[in-house]
Amino acid sequence: MWLFRLIYSIFIFAVFIFFRNTLDIDIYYAITYAIGIVLAINLVETLIVDLKSMKVASGFVGGLLFLLIAFVVMTALEAFVNEAFKMAFYFVFAYLGIFIGYKNNNLVETLINKMYKKQSKSKVVEIPKVLDTSTLIDGRIADIVETDLIEGKLVIPMFVLKELQNIADSHDHLRRQKGRRGLNILKRLQEQKHIPTEVSNEDFPDLGSVDEKLVALAKKLEGKIITTDFNLLKVAEIQNVKVLNINSLALALRQTVLPGEELTITILKEGKEHSQGVGYLEDGTMVVVEHGKNHIGEQVNVEVTSLLQTDSGRIIFTKMK
């Protein structure tokens, strides 16, 4: 910074001496003005010496800004000042702007960072979601998409579509029905307007199984896999590919109940134990009703007595009210 001060001071002296005839002053006035400007600059620097350091670019911006301010002020006072005073004023303000800008780069950087973060937050990171065969056959993905809970495009690989078509062409009635349901869900996803859905022709001929290809495609797209297949979930986790498990989502969204709460359910069948009846909540949670056997087909009010968490889900035990 000391080198800049020296060069700037020499430049001030040279300008006043060289343009003294244009400014209508003699050599002594030119030197006096130059000395006065240098002293004024040093005084300003002394007053704001505690300000933080700044970059050259910020100093340049500060200098331009203060020159603009000086121009506005001199335009307003043009009738009261001569050209020499204008020149001195411009030099003082230019240096003041450069110095303040140079010493306060952190302010500019903070402002830029805030603007950048604000723009970054407004942009949604769209992570592709790769769908497997089990997800399309399951069908719940279409309802989930319509809730707008998923962002980013859906990707259905061509090798998944081929597997789905093979299942739909199966001679087994149940498999054929599952395959056709998967194709219908795919059509429904393509027709919805919430998020884009595309069929990817990307294939990995060196890989044998569909699961391996799904993992490879998710890695290539830097996306996630949506599945209901437990084995695919484990394979993907081993290879550090994130998976959205629809079954886990369904479990997380099941109705929360506590002992002592009252429920209204329809008893549909007998329970395993004597006199028990069994019904279900809307989310599929099994409700066992003591002494509910004789009320099959009826809608009854029950009180929760206890809950049992199993590998397959949750069972709620109740008694008749």
> Which domains occur in the chain, in start order?
2-113 (no CATH), 129-252 (3.40.50.1010), 262-320 (2.40.50.110)
In the chain, which residue ranges form alpha helices assigned H by DSSP?
A: 2-18, 27-47, 56-76, 83-103, 105-122, 133-138, 140-146, 158-168, 173-191, 210-221, 230-238, 246-252
CA–CA dist 154, 257 (Å, integer): 34
Tokens in use for 226? 């949506």
How buried is 208 (Cβ within 10 angstroms: 0-12 exposed, 13-18 middle, 19+ buried)?
Answer: exposed
DSSP state, 278? E
CB atoms within 10 A of CB 77: 12
DSSP state, 261? -
CA–CA dist 217, 157 (Å, integer): 8
Per-residue b/e over 228-254, b at no fewer than 16 CB within 10 Å?
bbeebbebbeeeebebbbbbeebeeee
- How high is the pLDDT of residue 165? 92
- How high is the pLDDT of residue 115? 64
- How high is the pLDDT of residue 113? 66
- How high is the pLDDT of residue 18? 86
- How high is the pLDDT of residue 104? 72
- How high is the pLDDT of residue 76? 84
- How high is the pLDDT of residue 117? 62
Beta-carbon contacts of 142 under 8 Å, excluding residues fewer than 6 positions away, are: 185, 188, 189, 192
- How high is the pLDDT of residue 225? 92
- How high is the pLDDT of residue 112? 62
- Contact in structure between 16 and 34 (CB atoms under 8 Å): yes
259, 277, 317, 318 from 293: Cα distances, Å: 21, 4, 14, 13
- Contact in structure between 178 and 137 (CB atoms under 8 Å): yes
pTM higher than the cut 0.85:
no
CA–CA dist 151, 201 (Å, integer): 22
16, 186, 249, 293 from 191: Cα distances, Å: 76, 9, 24, 46
Q: What is the pLDDT along the chain (321 residues), one digit of tens a residue?
A: 678 778 888 888 888 888 888 887 888 888 888 888 887 877 666 555 544 444 556 767 777 888 888 888 888 888 787 888 888 888 888 888 777 776 776 666 666 666 666 555 545 567 899 999 999 998 889 888 888 888 888 999 999 999 999 999 989 888 999 999 999 999 999 998 888 899 989 888 888 888 899 999 999 888 999 988 888 888 888 888 898 888 878 777 776 788 889 989 999 999 888 889 999 987 778 899 998 988 999 999 999 999 887 766 788 999 988
